[in-house]
Structure 1
Amino acid sequence: MSTGTVAQRLGVAAATLRSWERRYAIGPAVRVAGKHRRWLPEDIARLEEMCHLTARGVPPAEAARAARVKVAGTSKVEKDVPAAGAGQTPGGPATLPLGPVRAECRGLARAAVRLDGEAVEALLDQAIEDHGCVVAWEEIIAPTLHAAGRKWASAGERYIEVEHLLSWLVSSALRRRRKPLRPTREGVGPIVLACAPGELHSLPLEALWAALTERGLPVKMFGPAFPVDALREAVRRVGPSLVVVWAQGRPTTAADLVTAVEGVEWGVRGARSHTALLVAGPGWTSVPQAGTRRLTALRSGLDLIEQRLAP
């Protein structure tokens, strides 16, 4: 495997692998023409052992020595590691319950459990750059976030630090994605994005913001817990073509939100326009007012938005 492939698989930044090779002589045994590194199965096994030990608090130099020796069973270094709760990363085998997922997803999960922010950041940027926002979100980021949530929910809140670090870095990576992959759409009113009042979970809406930006569509993000009156005023001042409201839990102000968006007229007198409301998130599942307004996933939601914007 190449260094980039190994880095994705293990959830370690490629720069970290090169640093380990330089400092601790834990590099690939073979190089091909042009000095390209190629990692063999035994090389990768040593890296996996090093990742395992460093995640448990073993200093890198000591972990590299143990990984090179590759003693079968429990090495002396592992015996000297403090017991659970004394400086380790959270629990057990230090894995998240992912199921069948992409290799990049597994690498991201491993880096998150190790609380390796640098590696998580690099893997997120690489996933978005290689695959675009939609694939990166649906096939790599969201499965990892869901697995982190399931893990701390079933482990007595021992993994909350993993989910918080991952969520913050995902949010940062999505906001860095400002380069449109398509020409900026002309003659289209902005799309307003906001969370329902009291709703603090905004990551899926941030993914929608990044994907819309990627498609060259004008978008304004108002973020978490946006009050109804503020939404009404934003519609009046911005004159958006569409408004998308996200709710993780059932919004208590569903009817007010519909009125706040679709009950407002904007534009010059004699040619007033109305804005259409779309809703997203599991909180709207049992809301009768949602109806055909619901966006059920990022890719299909983008397609529906494109249809609504078509002349």
Structure 2
Amino acid sequence: MEWSAGAVARMLGISPTTLRTWDRRYGLGPSTRHEGKHRRYNDDDVVRLKRMVELTASGVAPASAAASLTSSGDPDFWAAADELDAARMRRVAVGLIARHGVVHTWDAVLMPFLVELGERVSATASGVEVEHVASLSISDAMRVSGAAAGVPSVLLACAPEEQHSLPLDVLAAALAERGQASRNLGARVPATALVSAVKRLAPEVVFVWAHDRVHADQVPLAELAGTHVLVAGPGWEDVPLSGDVQRVGTLAAAVETILNRI
């Protein structure tokens, strides 16, 4: 099948102007050419554009989303993941971070990789071992990419019983890259432990990650009053927040918000 630009825009629910912008800026244009006629989008073009819409809707910057699509991620990382080669995945990730920075590497390569891998696991009910090894390798890469010196003024924590701590490692690395030290409490931080840590360390910003609503509901937000609190993750999407608690949707937004509050 082949489609005109107008048909593709209607199919994806975006404006023709957005479609033209993505073509001009990122090379996400139609592949099929007919002499004397307008270019047409083929099936592969539409699939790629659908993924672009999904990534940008989830908060990924358009440039990073396009980079992940036009490069198909990093083939070395995928190959290492398929072989469960944790050391190689770590080396590839560290190299990407050194060349492109934490935020771009996460947005353009690592997060799209994890999303696609998760979709494969859901569709085939296999590959969980790849997902686990890859996540650990990415965490290791974030930790070895550098740490900022100085007194930590940012406290990072997962909600009680929340086990998805990789986002904390990524944020810590992104902050360190900008010269900001942080303290990472990791996964499954009990409510009492979080409150105790805040009292003991007196951080300027507290960041709490929750992948599930049931975990987000256990975070003692009222007891953290007086501290800048940022929350992130799918678990917070429908949680009512008071005026002194702010939800951030992307890694870049989290970094900039934290740096602006310190």
Distance of 1:220 and 1:233 partners within structure 2? 14
Q: Equivalences for 1:222-261 in 2 at 5 Å?
A: 222-252=185-215, 254=217, 256-261=219-224
Percent identical among aligned pairs is: 35
Q: 1:256 to 1:110 in 2, by over 3 A?
A: closer
Q: In the TM superposition, what is the alpha-carbon distance from 1:213 to its structure 2 partner?
A: 1.3
Alpha-carbon offset, residue 253 of structure 1: 5.6
Q: Count the aligned residue pairs.
A: 195
Q: CA deviation at 1:100?
A: 1.9
Q: Deviations over 1:51-93 (max 9, x none)?
A: xxxxxxxxxxxxxxxxxxxxxxxxxxxxxxxxxxxxxxxxxxx
1:125 Cα deviation from its structure 2 partner:
1.2
1:171 aligns with 2:158: no
Residue 215 of structure 1 is matched in structure 2 by 178
Secondary structure at the residue paired with 1:244? Answer: strand
1:279 corresponds in structure 2 to: 231
TM-score (norm 2): 0.68
Q: Distance in 1 between matches of 2:99 and 2:129?
A: 28
* TM-superposed deviation, 1:105: 2.5
Task: State the alpha-carbon separation in 1 of the partners of residues 242 and 83 from structure 2.
Answer: 40
Matched, 1:155 2:124: yes
The structure with more helix, counted as a fraction of residues: 2
CA distance in 2, matches of 1:138, 1:256: 27
- Give the corresponding residue for 2:81: 112
Structure 2 CA distance for partners of 1:290 and 1:136, relative to 1, 3 Å: farther
Cα separation, 2, equivalents of 1:256 and 1:123: 35
Structure 2 unaligned regions, length at least 5: 1-67
1:289 equivalent in structure 2: 241
CA contact (8 A) 2:102 2:174 kept: yes
How far off its partner does 1:111 sit? Answer: 2.0
Q: 1:16-55 residue pairs with structure 2 within 5 A? A: none
| CA RMSD after TM alignment | 2.3
| Correspondent of 1:102 among 71, 74, 77 | 71
Task: Provide the residue aligned with 1:200 in structure 2.
Answer: 163
Question: Residue 282 of structure 1: CA displacement?
Answer: 0.9
The runs of 4+ residues in structure 1 deviating greater than 4 Å are none
Q: Flag structure 1 segments of 5+ consecutive residues without an equivalent.
A: 1-98, 263-273
Structure 1-normalised TM-score? 0.58
